Amino acid sequence: MAEFKSTHHHNVEILTDLQDHPLMEISESPGHLLLLKLWERDEHLFSGCLVTHETRLDTLKSEIFSLCLYFLTFHFFFFFILSVGPTGNACRKWWVPVVVNVLFCFVMVFLVHVKVCRYWKVFGLLEREQVGNRALTRCVQELRMKGVSFDLSKEPGGGNRMKSSSVEIKWKPIMWCSRYLVTLCFVGVSGLAVPACRFMACV
């Protein structure tokens, strides 16, 4: 009999603890329960967006790498053909290989710059999604711990936006050069290719 009373008392304590648990409080509060469901749905949407952006970044990196290979391969064979090609009247028509090279370089610089711009655009979206996801996760955890004492007017977000924006403006030139380094390399190689074509055509 004493053992039964002890078990019954233990079960009553468990039920009391469950009733006092924040999640139980949330389930009994329509506003908090609705907010929790909305935020959990947003968390799921954030996860899907993050995966999509990461996949897109991997695809763009692969495409940029392929363009770099095409660019280098073209110049390797182009200069190889010029070096073993017939001389004589070739120097009189030195502008022909120069024009071909310039057109090819222009197209490749344009394509790689478009890819790089898309990459950093998606990268920026991914960073914003990650920041938003972290803020939302913190709010969900806080809501689950506080229960009905959680402030319903609180919104995910905030942070050091002004601080980060000022740092971004301060280092903008350096950041721009680092981001578009591939494009700058393409432009540099293209600029060197023009005199190289003239030199090799007239050797």
Task: For residue 161, give the nearest of 119, 131, 121 by alpha carbon.
Answer: 131
Angle of CA points 43, 48, 51, to nearest 5°: 125
Type of residue at 174? I
Coil, strand or helix at 150:
coil
Q: Please state the separation of Cα 39 from the chain's center in Å.
A: 23
pLDDT tens for the chain, 203 residues long, are 544 444 444 444 433 444 455 667 666 677 777 877 888 888 888 888 899 999 999 999 999 999 999 999 999 998 888 877 655 555 677 778 888 889 999 999 999 999 999 999 999 999 988 888 888 888 888 877 877 777 767 767 654 444 444 445 556 778 888 889 999 999 999 888 888 887 777 76
pTM: 0.73
Residue spans per domain, the chain: 2-202
Task: For residue 131, give the nearest of 164, 169, 153 by alpha carbon.
Answer: 164
* Contact between residue 120 and residue 179 where contact means Cβ atoms under 8 Å apart: yes
